[in-house]
Structure 1
């Protein structure tokens, strides 16, 4: 009966019967929505087969002609964890572009590369983890507090900006054919999820109805109703006592009934098991799984759904409920064309599309558009040709601060040091590391402290072997400037395989000064895999680190009495699935400062690369050092090691340009007062170094704008664990920020004039149009982000200001343009204490300008709304 009820017309019915008779998932051409094929296939499954297919690592089923398919693939800012891919700026950097068209282009590139990797395996073949077309991105949680380590994965703190960028990215991922998407996007984590990381598996959010509707839901609503996302990921946390992945009111009533969602819901990884182990929602996974699938969680990332067999037998859930979820899942696989066919328009996408020249150019464009100029006293920027520059700081020459987290492997990453050398000439650049990221956090040993024995070149001699030992001659030899490599699923050099090799580096370690040093080896360990890569480090012939893959012996403390070079040898045997290696250290601060002084002495200006790194902010990290806890921050200021470095450098009296590389807002209070210029570069992706150099040189205008508020201190913020919005983000913060949401400078300047409304009085429920003229009044071409904010005086719970429109425009010097915005009733609405959204009568003001009212030039326009119009959820 299930089969016949799913067929709505005779043609579909006949197709389903034909499929059932054929007995193979591959024998039926795809229908537009895949429902008929899916229902027919599910009708033939045993309970055991059904339960296996409800887990993210869905196995092959030869009896039914089903290939194995792992649903877990990542594409936050490029296809992740599956070898070479174009690595775009981290999501927070993409958000700083305020460019919806750019986000759609990036999404298109991501899904194109996903298709290329999918096609390389072949339709109808088994696809392992990270090689599929179900992409678990974007992360559209609201970055409500800068302490959250995963905020870097989001589009910032504003629900409207987040929603618009999400729609663009989702449309890029999925393409313009709903019946056959290029890939399926999965906005996450639904809903009200933004830290803290410690305890994330079991915390309960008690958020007000107003904050839920006004802040936490709008971006997801846009992703579903406008972006037409094919999937949604439910979050770890509970909401008002019910784990989200078991919340029928969210997953069925709101998502499917109110918003019309037609896709499938996947759990965050192990979230179903969390319901038992940490939420204590049910006493075992059979009951937790039953509750989740009944509520509408179709797919379990994990293995907890294996207990659904027991759940059915014990009557916790009826088998037809499983059939509903399976029908949604297989419908998605049919729409994706997993089993191929002569009409597959995507079948011709080949590996030449991965990190293609066009995608490389797009990554550079995205990085350039993400740059936000925060300060530029006395027009110290752009830098002039022929200037001698001291490049100093822990983020000046590291790959990890380009790639961030959830990343692919960049084939040719360009660090800031490399980008500046290329743009200004190596002869004009001096370099010193200067400091670690934070107290107790090792950083890669810089080129200045490594020497190749044979040639005295900076770096170490690397010998690469095509086997897992060091016998015989190496397959290749080269000098590696630094040991800071991301080799996730790729060979270290051409000609080697990605899964079996060994590397030996030899040369000299040259301490910059006497003192106590910590040498460390960082290996990005694969998780959920068997075996890890052993590493060994020798100094002056003595083995100081010997680790077999258990991560217990990866640091050594040494004292160097002088700067005499020490013989060094590092060995890596890649026999598992680990993802690269870094040779790191903690050096004495006085020695680091002396090297920085020597670099600065040769220069006309200092460019200091400071900030954070994915080693200290990120998802559930095992780091507890001053200012950081488990991936989150306890202090939003610049870490003390770097703050001391900046103050030391300023004592030399030379112009100081600070480049902030981070995934979140950093309270640069001292730099705000004392540095000559500040540029926020985020984690800028594979071409970040080139983009930074181009902007510092004035080749491109810094047109990015802040997607988050920069506060002065954690004292400005409510408790991190509170999800109440009062006092948070530009919408509800009553204080004075260090740098405001929407803020950003340019090398030119803009003026606004002639605001015009379609009407100065409208009825509640009617749309409103506003336009204004923006003019580039400077002598340089530049980008402006025109922003529209609504003030709703008289609405007691309304935000201070609410972003309701934006456009990024490029204007030549002296050029003017008329910009127009259509404001829907939803954009003109407010939310009451009960969470009801409506357009209310009253007097309103719109501001059109280059930032928020009070933080950017612009013009006002007033209008009146009459009547009352309730709006749907």
Structure 2
């Protein structure tokens, strides 16, 4: 604890956080530096390098923009930028996957976008032609809709800062908002309006109050039914306030169905988009309503409506690339069995959509690797509140079949490993080998060194990552790699002795492209002397 506190406080001192005024060099840096062009490039490169290619059956990726005629971009995260916890406010407008694809292909490829609609309750956001002039949005810096507001035009009522890209325009809570504008239905019939809010909301049409839930409350959804005529303009007014903590105001409706309706039709315009397009990019995943600080996940599955959505569009057009946006692993077993290509983008930040588009069209060869294991089911794992990982958690101790192993990631090229050499040093073991890019694309490989310690009476790890290096190689390029392993990493904690020990016996040195993809290995015989392994010989 003392060591951890020391490091944290030292870093704060180095940042000048205990100094005031002129003594603190960081107070002299303009906020504009944070969003400078140089830092924007850093954000873009970070997004590129983190992307992990999980599946690429029959080399579906990269897409050829000169041959692909049309792309349907669908899914819950297609048109928005999903940020993780503690994201700052970008200077540039965040780039969604939809925008990234449009910018990449220009007018040469037809791009059809279908806004997300869930079939769980049949509700969809009111937007587009239903608000023909958009909405006037007035933001007040108090909960009473008083004073001079900040005003702008918006396309919908979908206010949820925690699950949307940081927006410098928005005032901090407490706040209140009023949206007004023309509502124009396209279908005649009985509509169900749904207003989800945290704290308070009101909704009226043509001056008639339909929902009045202004008294403070936790997240809840209020509904009202109303008969509306197609093509007729109605005056809509929605009001909302947030006092503190989690803020959400979302106005949706269930549109009357006309004619025979299929299951896919319940997901809005997506069915039409995937039917008319050659290729589908489905942007799926989760957000801070499911995972964040103070919000643990209940399972590792993709939400049920997204999974059904994927299965339904697959029946219509199986030529699908899935882009996953999530901060943790997902048990996407059906997806792995059926969908040709899967790209894991994590929460890629302000330029994430541009980075994803570069990967999809081969402008950037993905080289990211998984820093965790993708399991097939929670049923295979010990209880989450049992912190003893030796009982079968993580790549070190889990012996079952996993979906994607720790360290895994595909590339558009192939890499060959050869000529493993292990040399002993005073405080390090030098592990060297030849690495060649044997494919047609330039790309990054993340070479990983794993070690299996000698067998003991105690439960020992199957293997442990002891070093890795990311290296960029041109097509055909061959490079000698040398990774130095500190000898103090070749020890384990002996609980009975209450100290670290270096076991005598055979150490297995493994080189691979993931924890499950070992390409080279040597068994090294080690003698314990002066608390360090001293000699080795190939077995």
Q: Which residue of 2 aligns with 1:600?
A: 274
Q: Which residue of 2 aligns with 1:555?
A: 221
**Does structure 2 conserve the Cα–Cα contact (< 8 Å) formed by 1:753 and 1:773?**
yes
SS at match of 2:488: coil
Give CA-to-partner distance per residue, 1:279-322, whole Å, 9 cap, x none. xxxxxxxxxxxxxxxxxxxxxxxxxxxxxxxxxxxxxxxxxxxx
Q: Which residue of 2 aligns with 1:808?
A: 470
CA distance in 1, matches of 2:385, 2:33: 44
Indicate whether 1:415 and 2:96 are aligned: yes
Give CA-to-partner distance per residue, 1:249-280, whole Å, 9 cap, x none. xxxxxxxxxxxxx799xxxxxxxxxxxxxxxx
CA distance in 1, matches of 2:513, 2:15: 46
1:118-517 counterparts in 2 under 5 A? Answer: 229-231=7-9, 332=13, 336=17, 338-341=19-22, 344-385=24-65, 386-399=68-81, 402-411=82-91, 412-425=93-106, 428-436=110-118, 445=125, 447=127, 451-454=130-133, 460-464=134-138, 477-480=152-155, 483-484=158-159, 486=161, 492=169, 502-508=177-183, 517=192
Q: Which residue of 2 aligns with 1:827?
A: 489
More helix by share: 1
Indicate whether 1:650 and 2:314 are aligned: yes
Of the three residues 188, 194, 211, the one matched with 1:519 is 194
For residue 581 of structure 1, report the CA deviation from its aligned partner: 5.1
RMSD: 3.8
| Cα distance change, pair 490–418 in 1 and its aligned pair in 2 (3 A) | closer
**Does structure 2 conserve the Cα–Cα contact (< 8 Å) formed by 1:513 and 1:591?**
no
CA distance in 2, matches of 1:499, 1:721: 36
Q: What is the aligned length?
A: 514
For residue 838 of structure 1, report the CA deviation from its aligned partner: 1.3
Give CA-to-partner distance per residue, 1:424-458, whole Å, 9 cap, x none. 2376221224554x957x9982755x53334xxxx
- TM-score under structure 2 normalisation? 0.83
CA distance in 1, matches of 2:125, 2:183: 12
**Does structure 2 conserve the Cα–Cα contact (< 8 Å) formed by 1:805 and 1:821?**
yes
CA distance in 2, matches of 1:475, 1:600: 39
| Cα distance change, pair 390–367 in 1 and its aligned pair in 2 (3 A) | same
SS at match of 1:230: helix
Indicate whether 1:866 and 2:527 are aligned: yes
CA distance in 2, matches of 1:701, 1:734: 31
For residue 571 of structure 1, report the CA deviation from its aligned partner: 3.9
Unmatched runs of 5 consecutive residues or more in structure 1? 1-189, 191-219, 232-261, 265-331, 455-459, 524-531, 622-630
Of the three residues 310, 325, 330, the one matched with 1:661 is 325
Q: Which residue of 2 aligns with 1:747?
A: 412
| Cα distance change, pair 334–758 in 1 and its aligned pair in 2 (3 A) | closer
Q: Which residue of 1 aligns with 2:505?
A: 842
CA distance in 2, matches of 1:513, 1:421: 34
SS at match of 1:636: coil
SS at match of 1:799: coil
**Does structure 2 conserve the Cα–Cα contact (< 8 Å) formed by 1:511 and 1:562?**
no
Q: Which residue of 2 aligns with 1:670?
A: 334
For residue 669 of structure 1, report the CA deviation from its aligned partner: 0.7
CA distance in 1, matches of 2:112, 2:188: 18
Give CA-to-partner distance per residue, 1:488-530, whole Å, 9 cap, x none. 997637xx9998785424233758998875623456xxxxxxx
CA distance in 2, matches of 1:507, 1:353: 41
CA distance in 1, matches of 2:301, 2:219: 31
| Cα distance change, pair 404–580 in 1 and its aligned pair in 2 (3 A) | same
Unmatched runs of 5 consecutive residues or more in structure 2? 256-262, 533-539
Q: Which residue of 2 aligns with 1:851?
A: 514
CA distance in 2, matches of 1:591, 1:446: 17
SS at match of 1:858: strand
CA distance in 2, matches of 1:813, 1:482: 50
CA distance in 2, matches of 1:843, 1:556: 66
**Does structure 2 conserve the Cα–Cα contact (< 8 Å) formed by 1:756 and 1:771?**
yes
CA distance in 1, matches of 2:499, 2:146: 72
SS at match of 1:691: helix
CA distance in 1, matches of 2:446, 2:193: 46
For residue 592 of structure 1, report the CA deviation from its aligned partner: 3.2
For residue 664 of structure 1, report the CA deviation from its aligned partner: 1.3
Indicate whether 1:537 and 2:203 are aligned: yes
CA distance in 1, matches of 2:165, 2:48: 26
CA distance in 2, matches of 1:798, 1:384: 48
Indicate whether 1:770 and 2:449 are aligned: no
CA distance in 1, matches of 2:288, 2:219: 22
Give CA-to-partner distance per residue, 1:813-861, whole Å, 9 cap, x none. 1222222211112211123343532111111111122112xx3252223
**Does structure 1 conserve the Cα–Cα contact (< 8 Å) formed by 2:213 and 2:222?**
no
**Does structure 1 conserve the Cα–Cα contact (< 8 Å) formed by 2:509 and 2:521?**
yes
1:578-727 counterparts in 2 under 5 A? Answer: 582-585=249-252, 591-593=265-267, 595-621=269-295, 631-633=296-298, 635-725=299-389, 726-727=391-392
SS at match of 1:651: helix
Indicate whether 1:780 and 2:461 are aligned: no
CA distance in 1, matches of 2:25, 2:147: 49
**Does structure 2 conserve the Cα–Cα contact (< 8 Å) formed by 1:398 and 1:444?**
no
